Amino acid sequence: PLACGQFGTALGVVQAAHHAARDVHVWVDETRPYLQGARLTAWELAQAGVPHTLIADMAAGHLMARGEVDVVIVGADRIAANGDTANKVGTYTLAVLAARHDIPFFVAAPISTVDLDTPDGSSIPIEERTANEVLLVRGVRIAPPDTEVRNPAFDVTPADLITGIVTDEGVIRAPYEEGLAEAVARREQRRAATPGFRAMSPGGS
């Protein structure tokens, strides 16, 4: 699979396959400009003993075209009610490339990232981060002086490019509105039935 700069839930899917003795090799996007893939994803895979290879972000399309990627797995920082997802910038590009090459594209995230009050991806605010994350590498400037920078931290992947959303409530497939709402409802019902949950919740007694 191809993993995009995520650790925790997204890589939990990969680690589970590895522990089940599946033949797994992960292409790890470096995830510019903050290099979460190189610094975090690669480290976590190494700790878990999962075979992996670090690649430049824009090498993903080349590997897909050569038939070297069989599935793409990414994380999500927020999932809208319709299934649109916000994740580290570059995720949308991977989804488009995966669609072009008929490669399954999965989002792996806890159900807590689902925001049913956010109708779709256009309602998700996108943070613009500091220019120095792009202009500097380890404190060394890599662009000419006075270079203008746009540095969005996230992008939005439309639901119609997503094969399925892997959550702690199961794998949800289109139509996402119904599946996500049901998954959130199941979580809330289980929480409400958990002894001590109301006492721990804001306003609980």
For the chain, the residue count is 205
- Tell me which of 23, 77, 155, 168 is the catalytic residue: 77
Binned at pLDDT 50, 70 and 90, residue 53 comes out as very high
- Residues in CB range of 17: below 8 A, 6 or more apart: 24
pLDDT of residue 1: 54
Q: What are the domain boundaries of the chain?
A: 2-200
Confidence of residue 5 (pLDDT cuts 50, 70, 90): very low
CA dist., res. 116 & res. 23, Å (int): 37
6 contacts: CB under 8 Å, gap ≥ 6 = 36, 41, 74, 75, 87, 88, 108
- In three-state secondary structure terms, 101 is coil
Q: Which residues pair with 27 in a beta bridge?
A: 2, 53
Note if 23 is an active site residue. Answer: no
Predicted confidence (pLDDT) at residue 69 exceeds the cutoff of 60: yes
Q: What whole-number distance in Å separates Cα of residue 65 and Cα of residue 108?
A: 24
**Which CATH architecture fits 2-200?**
3-Layer(aba) Sandwich (3.40)
> What whole-number percentage of the chain has pLDDT above 90?
74
Q: Considering the entire predicted model, what is its pTM?
A: 0.88
Name 66's Cβ contacts closer than 8 Å, sequence gap at least 6. none
Q: List, in order, residues 6 or more apart from 119 with CB less than 8 Å away.
A: 80, 81, 82
Q: Is the pLDDT of residue 75 over 90?
A: yes
> Are 26 and 2 in contact, with CB atoms under 8 Å apart?
yes
Please tell me the least confidently modeled range out of 13-22, 109-118, 156-165, 193-202: 193-202
User: For residue 29, what are the contacts with CB-CB under 8 A and spacing of at least 6?
Assistant: 2, 3, 4, 5, 37, 41, 55, 56, 57, 60, 90, 94
- Cα 187 to its chain centre, rounded Å, is 21
